[in-house]
Amino acid sequence: MKRILVVDDEEHIRHSLRGVLSDEGFGVLEAGDGRRARELIAESPDLVVLDVWLPEIDGITLLEEIKSTHPGLPVIIICGHANIEAAVRATRLGAADFIEKPFSLEALLASIERALGRNEASAAEGSSPPDVARNGARTEHACPGEAGYRPQRTIGKSVVASGQGLHSGIRTGVILHPMPPDTGIVFQSLATEKSVPALVEFADSTGYATTLFRSGFGAKTVEHLLATLTSFGVTNVLVKMENEVPALDGSALEFCRLLDDAGVVEQPGPGVRTYVVERRHLVEEGPSWLTVEPHDGFVVDYTLDYPAPVGTQHFVFEYTGPESFRDQVAPARTFGFVHEFTRLAAAGLAAGGRLDNCVLIGEDGVINGELRFPNEFVRHKILDVLGDFALLGRPLRGRITARATGHRHNVAMVRELVAAAEH
């Protein structure tokens, strides 16, 4: 029988959890404060459910102690009046999950199941690093353009990134958790159990960023994170967040570093079937057009056509693995004209635009530093294409060619590909 230590100063919460967890077959230990929790941790529970707000010793301090003395003991943090800073700190200290009160018992049980499952998997694999499969063979990242099936993969541990939302302007962040096979990429509210899968059927807005929406929960500006997850071959992950994915420096470099830290783990079971393009598809709107055609691999050929001082830029990106994405596309930052940001601000958007998270273009060129590539703008458009095409839900084998397109055109094409696969 697995034993769970519940640490909360509210007796009615301990009573409720005791009943539910006992019904689920767990042994339950209880503590109403940090000092009693210290004593019970010596009895070697299998998991700790820990409230942040405790008398005498706060939950974050206790979490630090637990991770120092019992690094393998999974801890789920529960907290009323949560914010992203508390979630970020708890996750960086090693918490298996962060759940805001009032929480649903179903969400807590799912979190417990994930935490105990990951702990058992880690014990079974011993000291293998996160990018080593269970059979001891080193995991190779599959190219999205490969035919057949791609192995399912998740991340090796929970990781976190925080910053400011580009359009909302609020302090925000993401917490990435490993998930079992067949979960997919799912965005979930930090405050509730509401979630939305990263699939095109839930694409709600494609104006200046891509937003997913379901049942009252929206995940905004998801494209850079999705591009990175897909390029690293991650198929199963839970992304906890508040409203908008942080802009960071306007590129996907920090998300690459996040996945480097987490590691990528190959999972057992059936793989994810590649979408093999068998005929030419076209989305066209005035001078903007996008095609997807058969190709032995995965290529994005993009032509950007902007007014001076940008002009026309062209780049062909051929995916050969995560390093090709990291080197050629991930560093390219969000960009915009100064007058455009002024207009967006008047519409209530781009409230988080700063000199360090986007490239600003004035009448004579870039006004806030040096470009990372001479053609950084077209490379960023390819980054957006990769993120939006991740909403297909599986790797694509084909050639994407686009001119002067945006999120709207990308999502329209993905919808067409899904419809074609259903017939």
Alpha-carbon distance of 356 to 375, in angstroms, equals 19
- For residues 383 and 246, what is the distance between their CA atoms, to the nearest angstrom? 16
C-alpha to C-alpha distances, 203 to 30, 197, 328, 407, 412, nearest whole angstrom: 43, 10, 27, 10, 10
**CA–CA dist 51, 6 (Å, integer):** 8
Catalytic residue ranges: 407
Closest CA to 1 of 25, 24, 36: 25
Q: Say if residue 303 is exposed, middle or buried (CB neighbours under 10 Å; 0-12, 13-18, 19+).
A: middle
C-alpha span between 33 and 54 (Å, rounded): 6
Nearest to 5 by CA among 56, 55, 68, 70: 70
Q: What is the DSSP string of 313-342?
A: EEEEEE--SHHHHHHHTTTPPPEEEHHHHH
Residue pair 304/404 in contact by the 8 Å Cβ criterion: yes
Phi/psi of residue 114, nearest 5 degrees: -65, -45
* Cα 399 to Cα 413: distance, rounded to the nearest angstrom: 13
Q: Where are the strands (E) in 220-287, listed by range?
A: 237-241, 264-266, 272-273, 275-276, 281-285
Cα gap 284→252, rounded to integer Å: 28
Ordered strands of the 335-337 beta sheet: 335-337, 359-362, 365-366
